[in-house]
Amino acid sequence: MKNAFLSRNHQYILLLVLFYFSSLAAQNYQKTAVGVKTKLQSMDVEVQFYSPSIVRVLKSPEGVAFKKESLSVNKKPQETKFTIQQKGDIVSMKTDKIEVELNLLTGKVSYLDLNGKSLFTEKDYGTQFTPIMDVKKNSFTVRQAFKLDQVEAIYGLGQLQNGKLQQRNQQVVLKNGNMNVSFPYFLSSKGYGVFWDNYAATTFTDNIQETSMESLGDCSDYYFMYGGSANGVVTQMRDLTGQAPMFPLWSYGYWQSKERYKNQQELMDVVAKYRELKVPLDGIIQDWQYWGKDSLWNQMGWDSATFPNPKGMADFVHKNNAHLMVVAWPGFGPETKQFNEFKDKKMLIDFDTWPPKSGAKPYDPYNPAARDIYWNYLNKGVFSIGVDAWWLDSSEPDHINVKDADFNQPTYLGSYRSVLNAFPLTHVSGVYDHQRATTSDKRVFILTRSAFVGQQRYGANTWSGDIQSTWESLGKQIPAALNFSLSGVPYWNADIGGFFAGRWKKDGGENNPEFRELYVRWLQFGTFTPMMRSHGTDIPREIYNFGKKGVWSYDAIEKNINLRYSLLPYLYSTAWEVTSQSASIMYALPLIFENDPKVRDINDEFMFGRSFLVAPIVKPMYTGKKEDKVFEDFSKTGSREVYLPEGANWFDFWTGEKLNGGQSVTKETPINIIPLYVKQGTILPWGPKVQYAEEKKWDTLEIRIYPGADGKFTLYEDENDNYNYEKGAFSTIKLEWNEQTKTVTIGKRKGSFNGMIKNRTFNIVLVDKEKGIGVSSTSNFNKTITYNGKAKSVKL
């Protein structure tokens, strides 16, 4: 009995001691200027407020020193008011937007709204560090586990070619490569986003037990962003990683390209042919091998046999009111000056890159001195002839004959393995920063094959890689684009027609009706992406290869190119919203119609700006094969089902028919029609018919009003191609529609710039089944308003 008593007494004393020390541990945290920090579970833990809505959580093994300067995040922690309250083992920090709880025993961090409702949480003991060697450096496999609600949807992860809009219930290695742009980031339908700030390949896992990120690294480092809505999260992501600058107006026009124009005369002939046909064109692209043989790959100079007068070529393009984009690569052939200079300065990453068997190696873009050298050559050999834009191909980069030792290669920031996903970010930033330092008269416009978080601030438009020319691939581009935009980067495009089209050559190539139908439908989709660019190999893509006027394929292509140009005032004004308000150009439906559960996983429709619902055709309707023979049959009109989201009523763009939201409709789809609906309350500025973006000033604009709800739109204008807008050289005109009084108000013009239109005409059209429908401008206006910058209102 005595021994039993002593045993119980010892247990009691032990419990008191444990309680005492756990209480001490529970009080062992330190308030900092931006949050709190503590030591627990053999970890150093810090919670930092970057704003009332953005929280950084940084965890590392206790006492392990490391230096972390984010490549993606350019925001600094701002002074944030927050209160701290401790209850037992829980330290609660509250701003005027969110509440963050830190469990001082388990290390779990949880996030709640101001009503105490759970938003997101780590798992207890959810941070793990497994020691490994990263070449000669002691490092870790870092794993952070979270717990999501089973019913919430998540989006993002960059651009994956998996055909999914929602990204739940999968495991995927997030590693940049041709066709996949990998972001360790997701956005939740609950109105928050999470960015795992790590540049190594990351394994993302989501299953019924947990959601986790796992990477090579020195620390667990992630940002929680609360937006209150999906759009709000995108806004927070831009606040954290940078805003997108304005592209020049001409960049939103039509671009023609192929793999490749073999000499300067061929390129000039394409521009001349478009002008002869009076088909609009704003950009022509010169792809690879203008430098000559592969051993001189990317020498940033011109082969004298095929491009004897590159400046004369650029001058010809400009004389014909078009713009020239030229390709540059991150790898260099062994006979180039760049290769040898980078090699001598230990600025090459020693693995094989494109082209195969050439001996080409990539430079080290993580090194600022290497970026200086890269630009010096690019500026002297290419930019100096009058090039307007860059195609930074293979920017992930291509990795050929892959060996594990390749990832051990040193870079300026550590092993290539530890930073590989950030290659495109540093590469693109070097070109952007140097061109901006060279001139402010020409906006940077970069087309690039890869990206990483934060790339939107470097004037880059990412395309989806060397995709196959198939209907399946076309269908996958829609959710790929939407998740890329959801990830905070608004500028995206794809090769219209798909890159590899050799499968269609057997039955006639450009004369193959099957390919023509696919190309037309792809071009219709491309009309409603941030960059409208035709490109591919195997089969030429210029419009005159698809027949002539009167041929269905030619006519459909021409119709949609003209539609794109009519939409330029709308698109350019939307681009200003991207720059000034963190808006998007392509919206997944859940971003705008969050209260409609039916849109959560619709992966074949999207919003173009906030007004247009676009439903691309992703299956053949008029061509095919019978008994191994290709046919085309237009005797019956095809159709597709379109869901019109609840929360708005809609106008059929082509007919003016008004339809209720919250229902599926069947739309007839002749070969020259893409299902297109306009939200009630839309005010649409309709541009003039032009051959290039700046051919005509917008001194006379048709303003289409889609009645049924109040509406507003801000028309934005500036000097089109310089950075004076950053100094305030732009103007805005607010247009408003009052549904109850049927009144249009043209607000007072704000701002000014050189060349601004002082007096103009607005032709107002109230859209119905007779007016303001389809691609044709109308002379049957409801009202005509002369405008000199002062506010005016008219009743319809």
Question: pLDDT tens digits for 439-488?
Answer: 999 999 999 999 999 999 999 999 999 999 999 999 999 999 999 999 99
pLDDT digits (tens, 9 = 90+) for 140-151: 999 999 999 999
**Per-residue confidence (pLDDT) for residue 777, from 0 to 100:** 83
Residue 111's pLDDT band, with cuts at 50, 70 and 90, is very high
What CATH code is carried by the domain that includes residue 143? 2.60.40.1760
What helix, strand, coil percent values describe the chain, rounded to 5?
A: 25, 30, 45
- The residue with greater pLDDT, 311 or 777, is 311
Q: What average pLDDT does this structure show over 224-232?
A: 97
Same domain? 296 vs 418: yes
**Per-residue confidence (pLDDT) for residue 13, from 0 to 100:** 36
Amino acid 25 reads A
Start-to-end CA span in the chain (Å): 99
Identify the DSSP state of 562. Answer: H
pLDDT digits (tens, 9 = 90+) for 534-587: 999 999 999 999 999 999 999 999 999 999 999 999 999 999 999 999 999 999
What CATH code is carried by the domain that includes residue 299? 3.20.20.80
**Per-residue confidence (pLDDT) for residue 8, from 0 to 100:** 40
The torsion angles phi and psi of 561, rounded to 5 degrees, stand at -65, -45
Q: How far is CA 364 from CA 357, 399, 663, in A?
A: 20, 14, 53
Same domain? 206 vs 336: no
Is it the case that residue 16 has pLDDT exceeding 50? Answer: no
> Hey, is 512 helix, strand or coil?
coil
Whole domain around residue 440: which residue ranges?
291-306+328-446
Nearest alpha carbon to residue 97 among 111, 76, 78, 77: 111
Alpha-carbon distance of 85 to 377, in angstroms, equals 58
**Per-residue confidence (pLDDT) for residue 53, from 0 to 100:** 98
Is it the case that residue 271 has pLDDT exceeding 50? Answer: yes
**Per-residue confidence (pLDDT) for residue 184, from 0 to 100:** 98
- The residue with greater pLDDT, 255 or 26, is 255
Residue 250 counted as domain residue? no
Residue 29 counted as domain residue? yes
Q: Is 122 in contact with 110 (CB distance < 8 Å)?
A: yes
Same domain? 204 vs 347: no
Residue 416's pLDDT band, with cuts at 50, 70 and 90, is very high
Identify the DSSP state of 687. Answer: P
pLDDT digits (tens, 9 = 90+) for 160-177: 999 999 999 999 999 999
Residue 776's pLDDT band, with cuts at 50, 70 and 90, is confident
Same domain? 113 vs 24: yes
Residue 789 counted as domain residue? no
Residue 340 counted as domain residue? yes
Among 412, 446, 480, which residue terminates a domain? 446
Alpha-carbon distance of 442 to 459, in angstroms, equals 12
Instruction: Read off the tokens for 750.
Output: 């704000």
**Per-residue confidence (pLDDT) for residue 20, from 0 to 100:** 39
Residue 492's pLDDT band, with cuts at 50, 70 and 90, is very high
**Per-residue confidence (pLDDT) for residue 382, from 0 to 100:** 98
Buried b (16+ CB within 10 A) or exposed e, 645-673: bbebbbbbbbebebeebeeebebebebbb
**Per-residue confidence (pLDDT) for residue 203, from 0 to 100:** 98
Residue 372's pLDDT band, with cuts at 50, 70 and 90, is very high
Same domain? 197 vs 301: no
Same domain? 208 vs 296: no
Tell me which of 396, 398, 538, 702 is the catalytic residue. Answer: 396
Least confident of 9-13, 649-653, 718-722, 747-751: 9-13
Same domain? 210 vs 336: no
Same domain? 216 vs 80: yes
Q: What average pLDDT does this structure show over 3-20?
A: 38
Among 226, 252, 280, which residue terminates a domain? 226
Q: What average pLDDT does this structure show over 645-650?
A: 97
Buried b (16+ CB within 10 A) or exposed e, 701-737: bbbbbbbbeebebbbbbbbbbbbebeeebbbbbbbbb
Share of the chain above pLDDT 70, in %: 97
Alpha-carbon distance of 49 to 56, in angstroms, equals 6
Q: What average pLDDT does this structure show over 118-135?
A: 98
Q: Is 161 in contact with 498 (CB distance < 8 Å)?
A: no
Is it the case that residue 353 has pLDDT exceeding 70? Answer: yes
Residue 15's pLDDT band, with cuts at 50, 70 and 90, is very low
Is it the case that residue 12 has pLDDT exceeding 80? Answer: no
Query: Angle, nearest 10°, between helix axes 513-526 and 552-566?
Result: 10
Is it the case that residue 17 has pLDDT exceeding 50? Answer: no
Share the mean pLDDT of the chain. Answer: 96
* 134 is a catalytic site residue: no
Would you call the peptide bond into 397 cis, given omega within 30 degrees of 0 as the criterion?
A: yes
Q: What average pLDDT does this structure show over 180-194?
A: 98
Alpha-carbon distance of 578 to 734, in angstroms, equals 17
Nearest alpha carbon to residue 73 among 228, 221, 214: 221
Amino acid 358 reads S
Is it the case that residue 97 has pLDDT exceeding 60? Answer: yes
- Burial group, residue 280, by CB count within 10 angstroms (0-12, 13-18, 19+): buried
Q: How far is CA 531 from CA 495, 496, 526, 719, in A?
A: 10, 10, 7, 20
Strand order in the sheet with 586-587: 586-587, 606-608, 612-614, 676-679, 650-652, 658-659
Same domain? 218 vs 358: no
Residue 26's pLDDT band, with cuts at 50, 70 and 90, is very low
Same domain? 211 vs 301: no
CA dihedral 261→265→266→267, nearest 10 degrees, is 60
Identify the DSSP state of 247. Answer: P
> Hey, is 93 helix, strand or coil?
strand
Residue 315 counted as domain residue? no
Residue 21 counted as domain residue? yes
Q: Which of 13-17, 63-67, 68-72 has the highest mean pLDDT?
A: 68-72
Instruction: Read off the tokens for 768.
Output: 């119905």
Q: Is 100 in contact with 91 (CB distance < 8 Å)?
A: no
Among 226, 245, 271, which residue terminates a domain? 226
Same domain? 219 vs 299: no
* 396 is a catalytic site residue: yes
Same domain? 295 vs 219: no
Alpha-carbon distance of 341 to 336, in angstroms, equals 9
**Per-residue confidence (pLDDT) for residue 14, from 0 to 100:** 35
Residue 19's pLDDT band, with cuts at 50, 70 and 90, is very low
pLDDT digits (tens, 9 = 90+) for 46-69: 999 999 999 999 999 999 988 899
Amino acid 650 reads W
Strand order in the sheet with 683-686: 683-686, 700-705, 760-766, 783-787
Amino acid 176 reads N
Nearest alpha carbon to residue 176 among 490, 465, 533: 465
Instruction: Read off the tokens for 288.
Output: 């690879």
Q: Is 111 in contact with 193 (CB distance < 8 Å)?
A: no
Residue 658 counted as domain residue? no
Structurally, the chain folds into a number of domains equal to 2
Q: What average pLDDT does this structure show over 618-635?
A: 96
**Per-residue confidence (pLDDT) for residue 248, from 0 to 100:** 98
Residue 4's pLDDT band, with cuts at 50, 70 and 90, is very low
CA 289 to chain centre: 28
**Per-residue confidence (pLDDT) for residue 21, from 0 to 100:** 43
Alpha-carbon distance of 479 to 464, in angstroms, equals 11
Identify the DSSP state of 696. Answer: S
Tell me which of 206, 218, 393, 702 is the catalytic residue. Answer: 393
Give the chain's radius of gyration (CA, Å).
Answer: 28
Residue 266's pLDDT band, with cuts at 50, 70 and 90, is very high
* 710 is a catalytic site residue: no
Residue 91 counted as domain residue? yes
Tell me which of 134, 466, 517, 717 is the catalytic residue. Answer: 466
Is it the case that residue 113 has pLDDT exceeding 60? Answer: yes
